[in-house]
C-alpha cells in the first residue's frame, strides 16, 4: 500500500509539473540563415594548385610531377628524383581572391619513398554574401564576409613496381572561414502545463559563422607503360567532401612524352550538392625550348566555365620560375594570374 501510494504521488507530480520547453526558429528565418550559409560556401576555393599545372589547363594527373603533383596525384611525386621547394602567389580577379602557398617535394633521399607537403592561404572578400547581408540589414548585424582559407597537404608515394607503378596517399587538413553574422530571428517556444500547450514568440539575436574545418584524404596511382607514355588516376576529398568547394573529385588521365614535348589529357567528375556528378575534361601541352618551358591548356568544367590557360617558365640546375594565366572564355571577369619561384637540389 505504501509503495502504491508513492507511485501515484509521483505520477500526479509529473502531470502537474510543466513539460520541457521546445523552442525552434521560425521557418522563414531558418531559410534566410541557410541562404547566408550557401552564399558563404559558394565561392570557389582559392587554394594554390601549382603554377606548372595551371599553365597546362590543370591537366596534370596522368604524368605531371614535382610540387604540382602534391595537389593533383599523390603517386606522381615520386616520378622525378629531386628535391624541390616552391613559393607561389595567385590572384583571382573575378572573385577578388589572393592565394599564397609553399610546397616541398623530396623524391631523392629514399628511392623507395617520396613525400610532399603543401600549405595554402586564401584571402579575400565574398561580395555576393556581403550583398545578401546588405539586402537584409534589418535582421543582421556584426556581419563579416571575409574569406580566410587554410589548406595543408601531406602526401607519400611508394613504388609498387620500380619505374613502372607507384601508389600515393595524402592527408588534407582544411579550415575555411567564410563569414560570420548576428541575425535577429523569431523563436517559437512551446510549453506544456497541466495538459495544455502555450506558445510564445520572441525575437532573439543568434550568432552564426561558416567555419568549416576537418581532415580529408586523397589517393592516387601512376602507371608508366613506357618512357613515352603514362596513365594516372586520383581521388581527392574522400572524406567530408560536402564541406569543401568542388566536392569529391575523380580524375583520370594520360600523358605522352616526346623528347622535349609533354602532352596531357584528363577526364574528371566532381560530386554536386544534390548528389549528382559534374563531368569535365582538360588538355595541356608543355614544350621545353632549351631551358624555357612554354605551356598551353584548356579545361572544360561546365557550360559556364571553360578556361584557356597559358604558361611559361625558366629552368636551371638550381633555380626555376613559372608564370601562368587562365581565362574563362564564357565570363571575361573570371581570370587568374600566378607565378612561383622554385629551388632544386
Closest CA to 163 of 235, 233, 112, 117: 112
pLDDT value, residue 11: 39
Residue 333 three-state SS: coil
Phi and psi torsions of 276, nearest 5°: -85, -175
Closest CA to 189 of 207, 202, 177, 175: 202
Note whether 236 and 249 are within 8 A (CB): yes
CA distance 61 to 136: 44
The residue ranges of every structural domain in the chain are 17-344
Domain 17-344, what fold?
Porin (2.40.160)
pLDDT, one tens digit per residue, over 202-239 is: 888 999 999 999 999 999 999 999 989 999 999 998 88
Mean pLDDT of 256-279: 90
Cβ–Cβ contacts within 10 Å for residue 96, how many?
16
Contacts 24+ apart (CB under 8 A), 268-277: 270/246, 271/241, 271/247, 272/247, 273/242, 273/247
The residue to which cell 608515394 is assigned: 157
Task: Identify the bridge partners of residue 188 per DSSP, sorted by sequence position.
Answer: 24, 201
Supply the mean pLDDT for the chain: 88
Reply yes or no on whether the pLDDT at 34 is more than 70. Answer: yes
Amino acid at each position: 500500500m505504501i509503495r502504491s501510494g508513492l507511485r501515484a504521488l509521483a505520477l500526479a507530480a509529473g502531470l502537474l509539473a510543466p513539460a520541457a520547453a521546445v523552442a525552434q526558429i521560425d521557418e522563414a528565418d531558418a531559410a534566410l540563415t541557410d541562404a547566408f550559409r550557401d552564399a558563404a560556401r559558394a565561392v570557389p576555393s582559392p587554394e594554390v594548385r601549382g603554377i606548372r599545372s595551371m599553365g597546362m589547363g590543370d591537366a596534370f594527373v596522368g604524368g605531371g610531377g614535382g610540387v604540382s603533383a602534391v595537389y593533383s596525384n599523390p603517386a606522381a611525386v615520386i616520378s622525378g628524383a629531386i628535391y624541390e621547394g616552391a613559393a607561389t602567389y595567385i590572384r583571382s580577379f573575378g572573385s577578388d581572391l589572393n592565394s599564397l602557398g609553399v610546397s616541398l617535394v623530396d623524391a631523392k633521399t629514399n628511392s623507395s619513398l617520396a613525400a610532399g607537403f603543401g600549405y595554402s592561404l586564401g584571402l579575400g572578400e565574398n561580395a555576393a554574401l556581403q550583398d545578401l547581408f546588405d539586402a537584409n540589414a534589418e535582421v543582421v548585424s556584426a556581419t563579416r564576409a571575409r574569406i580566410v582559407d587554410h589548406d595543408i597537404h601531406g602526401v607519400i608515394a611508394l613504388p609498387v613496381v620500380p619505374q613502372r607503378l607507384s601508389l600515393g596517399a595524402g592527408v588534407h587538413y582544411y579550415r575555411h572561414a567564410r563569414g560570420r553574422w548576428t541575425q535577429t530571428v523569431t523563436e517559437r517556444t512551446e510549453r506544456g502545463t497541466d495538459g495544455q500547450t502555450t506558445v510564445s514568440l520572441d525575437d532573439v539575436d543568434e550568432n552564426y559563422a561558416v567555419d568549416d574545418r576537418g581532415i580529408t584524404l586523397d589517393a592516387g596511382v601512376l602507371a608508366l607503360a613506357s618512357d613515352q607514355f603514362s596513365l594516372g588516376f586520383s581521388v581527392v576529398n574522400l572524406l567530408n567532401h560536402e564541406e569543401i568547394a568542388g566536392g569529391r573529385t575523380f580524375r583520370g588521365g594520360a600523358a605522352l612524352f616526346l623528347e622535349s614535348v609533354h602532352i596531357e589529357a584528363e577526364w574528371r567528375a566532381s560530386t554536386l550538392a544534390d548528389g549528382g556528378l559534374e563531368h569535365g575534361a582538360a588538355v595541356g601541352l608543355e614544350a621545353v625550348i632549351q631551358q624555357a618551358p612554354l605551356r598551353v591548356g584548356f579545361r572544360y568544367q561546365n557550360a559556364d566555365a571553360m578556361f584557356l590557360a597559358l604558361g611559361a617558365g625558366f629552368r636551371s640546375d638550381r633555380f626555376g620560375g613559372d608564370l601562368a594565366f587562365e581565362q574563362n572564355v564564357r565570363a571575361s571577369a573570371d581570370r587568374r594570374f600566378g607565378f612561383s619561384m622554385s629551388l632544386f637540389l
